[in-house]
Each structure stands twice: as C-alpha cells, then as structure tokens.
A and B are shown apart, each in its own frame.
Chain A
Amino acid sequence: MMSPTGNWTVEQPIVALHGVHKSFGSLEVLKGIDIDVMKGEVVCIIGPSGSGKSTLIRTINGLTPVSKGSVKVEGIEVHDAKLDKLALRRKVGIVFQQYNLFPHRTVLQNVMMAPLLVLRENRTEVEERARALLAKVKLKDKENAYPAELSGGQQQRVAIARSLCMRPDVMLFDEVTAALDPETVKEVLVTIRDLAMDGMTCMLVTHEMGFAREISDRVYFTDAGRIVESGPPSQIFETPQDPRTQEFLSKVL
C-alpha cells in the first residue's frame, strides 16, 4: 500500500523525477529527465512534437512504466513493483487531449463514478461535491446531458471536474486544448487557471505559449527526450539560452 506517506513533508518536492529513461523497443523516448515540483507549483512542459512530453507526463501516474530512473509522488516511488498503483492514482489526476469521457453515462455520472466505485464514498456526499465541481467549471445546467451532446470545450471541462472529484493532490494536463476550437480553448484555460489559483499543484504539457507564460512558476523546454532548458517563464520566453529553445520559440510565437 502507498498509504504511509512516509516522511514526506511539504518542504520536499511533491513530484520528483530523477534520471528518468524510457524506451519503446529500440526507440529511446526519454533520455534522463530531472524535474522537481513543489506543492502548489504550476509547471509547464513545452517542446516540439515527438519530444516525449506525453510519455513524460504519463510516467508520473504510472500509465507508462519507466525503463530507468525514479519517479516519486509525495516521496513514494511510483515504479515500485510492490506499489499499490490504485492508491497512487487517487493522488494524481490526469486530463487527456481527447477528453475520454464515458459516453454511456451522463455528465454527473461521469464525475461521480470513480469516487463511488473506487473510493466507495457516500453517495450524497459525492453528489454534492460533483455538483459543486460542475458549478465551478460552469456546467451546472449540463449535469444530465450525455457527453455527445456537449461541445469539445464543455467535454474537457467535465473531464477536469471528473478528475478533481477524486480530490487529487497533483493534476496533470496533456495538451488538453489541442483538440479544441480556438473559441473554446479559452474557457478550458480559465478553468485551469482558477484551479492553479486555488493552489492545486499542476503540470501541463501545452502548446499555448501565452498561457504557459502567464500561469507557470517554471517552464521546461524538452527536445528529443531531454530537458534542454528550464526556468521562470520570463527567462525562457524572453531570454532563452539554448539555440534549440530559441528556434522552437521563434516558430511558435
């Protein structure tokens, strides 16, 4: 079990990656990643397509096993074979580019399902929490709709509420606005910003450079499986040091 949170204290990183390597067969996708995130921090990962950003973020909740190195959440090794993965996943929420809502369930049911089934919490409490979260993502009036009846931006906000209903300590976002129309991108970004303002620890993979600049405490630029450069957004976006960062930014900005 993961439960004894060991001797982790808030002065230590809540998420800590050290020397993380990942290969798919002979293809080495991550070549030694080091990232420390403190509780309440907002961290953005940017970089060209195929540089391993999704793979990186998926190692943090154990969806993708690492080949070498250590990933710790609240001081506990994620890739320990004896670890109760389910306990880890209760602490770490993730939202994907493709929303992945459960199409056969209503919005409210989507949000309530995991706390009811996995945490076995009391239905009235879960329902209250789910309704509050839906209000927070401004979808109060859609609770009885099915996912197919919602726009992409609305579906993505339901996906965020669904993750939050598990009361995670860390939220991961993997290009959550990449599949959205430009008009709906903003409503999702506002949701994430509110969440970050409330003190949630967030790690985002994003192509929204303006948003990354506005919201993050620190930005990581990745290329070909390595972190090329990291620092506060002002430094990365205004005075990038590495030529690869400069080239990437000149293309996307």
Chain B
Amino acid sequence: MTPNWTVSRLTWRAPVLAAGLCVLATLAAMAQDGSTGRPSALATLITWVPFILKGFGLNLVMSVLAMALATVSGVILGFMQISPVTLIRLPAKLVTNLFRNSPWLVILFAIMFLVPFQITLPGGDKVMVPDWLKATFGFSLPVMANVSEILRGAVASIPSGQWESAESLAFTRGQTLRHIILPQCIRRMLPPWMNWYALLTLMTPMAAILGVNEALGNTQAAMEAAGSRPEFLIPFYLFLMTIFFVVIYPISICTRRLEKRFATGS
C-alpha cells in the first residue's frame, strides 16, 4: 500500500507503453507491405509524419487556448454560482448546467454556425475568424461549465467551521474567500482540472468534422493523397493514437499522483 511503489510503476509504464504502440504501428505497416512497386505503408507514413505532426500542433494550440479560456471564464462563472445574490447566482447556474449537459459536438456545430466567419473591428477593418479559433471557442464552453462546477464543489466541500471562524475574526466575505477558502480549494481543484485538460485535448479531433486542419484531418488528407490504400489505415491511425497517448498519459499519471498525495496529505 505504499504510494511510492505505485508511482514508480506508473512512471516506467508510460514510456514503455508508448514505445510498444510505436513498434506495433511499425510492425503492422511492415506486415501489410506486400507489393514491391509502390512505397510501403510505413515509408508513406514516414513521409507524411511532419504533416500530421503539424496538424497535431494545432490540436495542442487549440487545447491550451481553450483551457485558458475555460479556466478564466469557468472561475468567474463558479464565483457567480456561489454568490449570495440570487440575480447573479441563478443565471450562472443555468449557464453551467446548460453547457455541462449538452453534447460537445452539438455545442461545436452551434458555435460554428452562430459565430460569423468575419467580424468587423471597431476601426471598421474586417477580420476573418478562422475555423480553428471558432472550434477552440466551442471546446472551451463545456470545459468552462465543468471548471465552474469544480470551483463550486470545492468551495462547498470546505467545512462551515472555516467560514464561521473567519467571520468571527471579522473577515469580510471577500477576505474569507480569498485568504481562507480558495487556498484550500486550489489543491482540491487541481486534479479534476488536469483531468478536464486531458479530456479536452482528446476531444479536439472533433474539429476535423468542421474542416479544421488538425491531426485527424491531416491524417485523413495524407492517406487520401497517398492513394487511399487500405493498408494505410492501421499504421496511420495507430500513429495518430500514439502521439495523443504520449501527451495525455503523463498528464493522467500526474493527476493520479496528485490525487493520491492530497488524499493522504490532509
């Protein structure tokens, strides 16, 4: 039951699993390499790797941007949810529950068609809103709602005695939140927050449906450009899964480690 044992096991497991997947992708590519006239599936994949990785870069940019947006707006929304003022609290609860309980794809489509493809700046200049930016905005909404809920839940989980003793020491509500409640919330919020980042990153390929040139879109485009041979499917998709895995798996290890530490720490 020592946490150290589990942690070290998880640590070596990650790179080994990742390497294993890569080897598997290579083997699959070679096994299907029957005919001689055409470049093998593996060689084709290698040619297209930079193109797919470029798309993957966009997935990462979208996920980081969407997470930043979701965190800022989600924290604001979460604070509104715990406001003593009904007029602030109720709309915040409505927005939170709406976006928490809607399918991501529906939100994504709605944003795609609701946000105009070009907007007029105050100066009169027109700027194009690229599809990937719209998708980023669409991804940020459900995560925002969940961050809002994480904040509300964390604040609610602080024992009422903390509020009472701060109140008795003449702290204002704002001072209590800032100096007593939130510092205790942050450690509780970090693991679920990281979890949502991982989930968000895994959802970004949905943008391919909307024509964004991210990793999935580029992978499909690459296979098509190379002649759409059926033996491409396994190596290309395995490669795609591997690059996501390499980024996401360490995050989930970290999340689990933090959860464990906080569970035993206090």
Contacts and interface: CB of A to CB of B under 8 A. Distances in A.
B164 A89 contact: no
B170 A90 contact: yes
Nearest to B182: A104
A86 B161 contact: no
B54 interface: no
A114 B164 contact: no
Interface in B168-185: 168-172, 175, 179-180, 183-184
Nearest to A88: B170
A89 B161 contact: no
B118 interface: no
A118 interface: yes
Contact of A114 (B159, B170, B183, B184): B170
Contacts of B83: none
A163 interface: yes
Interface in A83-107: 85-87, 89-90, 92-94, 96, 98, 100-104
B8 interface: no
A52 B165 CA distance: 20
Interface string B240-266: 000000000000000000000000001
A117 interface: yes
A63 interface: yes
A98 B169 contact: no
B54 to A, nearest CB: 44
Interface residues of A, number: 26
B168 A113 contact: no
Contact of A96 (B165, B179, B184): B165
A56 to B, nearest CB: 15
A118 B170 contact: yes
A89 B168 contact: yes
B164 A86 contact: no
Contact of B169 (A103, A148, A166): A166
A247 to B, nearest CB: 32
A154 interface: no
A53 interface: no
A102 B175 CA distance: 13
Given A117-B179, A148-B266, A102 B168 contact: no
Interface residues of B, number: 18
B47 interface: no
A235 to B, nearest CB: 32
B184 A100 contact: no
The interface residues of chain B, by DSSP majority, are classed as helix
A61 interface: yes
A113 B165 contact: no
A21 interface: no
Contact of A89 (B162, B167, B175): B167
A93 B168 contact: yes
Given A96-B164, A96-B165, A103 B170 contact: no
B165 A118 contact: no
Nearest to B169: A114
For A103, A113, A117, A118, which residue has the most chain B Cβ atoms within 10 angstroms?
A117
Contacts of B161: 96, 98, 100
B179 to A, nearest CB: 6
A162 interface: yes
Nearest to B165: A100
A70 B201 CA distance: 60
Contacts of A98: 159, 161
Contact of B170 (A89, A96, A100): A89
B170 A86 contact: yes
Contacts of A159: 165
B175 to A, nearest CB: 6
A91 to B, nearest CB: 9
Lowest 10 CB-CB distances: which A-B pairs, in order? Answer: A100-B165, A100-B161, A114-B169, A89-B170, A86-B170, A118-B170, A94-B168, A104-B183, A90-B170, A98-B161
30 contacts: A61-B168, A85-B170, A86-B172, A87-B170, A89-B167, A89-B169, A89-B170, A90-B170, A92-B168, A93-B168, A94-B168, A96-B161, A96-B164, A98-B161, A100-B161, A100-B164, A102-B162, A102-B165, A102-B166, A103-B266, A113-B179, A114-B170, A114-B171, A148-B266, A159-B165, A162-B169, A163-B168, A163-B169, A166-B169, A166-B170
Interface of B: 159, 161-162, 164-172, 175, 179-180, 183-184, 266
